[in-house]
Amino acid sequence: MTNTLPRRTGHRITVEPSGRHVRAVRDGQVLAESDGALVLREPGCPDAYYIPVRDVRLDLLIPSETRTNCPFKGDASYWSLPGTPDLVWTYADPKPEVAEIKGHLCFYEVEVS
């Protein structure tokens, strides 16, 4: 199912299954790997791949104090690696228009195949 932010905002976001294999690797270590990622497309931004929490190595990540707000997606919290702050983020309670990303994490850099 594709969910699209209402057009009245003038900012169209879509969320749909990526259908691709996605990996997050840092310094040769696999942090996440999934065939069940979602792709979020937002104007002016590169495609963002949201990986289900079950496919992320949370044991390697450290919760960050960083919090941000997106008027279209909601409040984000971040995770870090030692020496690499705020490498990944998640929306614990996303806006209804992007509810599918709940329970998923997004890395700044991923390999998509």
Domains and CATH numbers, the chain: 10-112 (2.170.150.40)
Q: Is 60 helix (H, G, I), strand (E, B) or coil?
A: helix
Query: In angstroms, rounded to a whole number, what is the distance separating the alpha carbons of residues 92 and 29?
Result: 25
Q: How many Cβ atoms from other residues are within 10 Å of residue 45's Cβ?
A: 9
Q: Is the pTM of this model over 0.85?
A: yes
Consecutive 10-residue averages of pLDDT for the chain (113 residues): 50 94 95 98 94 97 97 96 95 96 96 89
Please compute, for residue 55, the number of CA atoms within 13 A of its CA located in the half-sphere on the CB side.
Answer: 21
Query: In angstroms, rounded to a whole number, what is the distance separating the alpha carbons of residues 60 and 25?
Result: 12
Q: What is the pLDDT of residue 113?
A: 84
Query: In angstroms, rounded to a whole number, what is the distance separating the alpha carbons of residues 34 and 97?
Result: 23
Q: How many Cβ atoms from other residues are within 10 Å of residue 98's Cβ?
A: 23
Q: What is the pLDDT of residue 1?
A: 47
Query: In angstroms, rounded to a whole number, what is the distance separating the alpha carbons of residues 35 and 112?
Result: 10
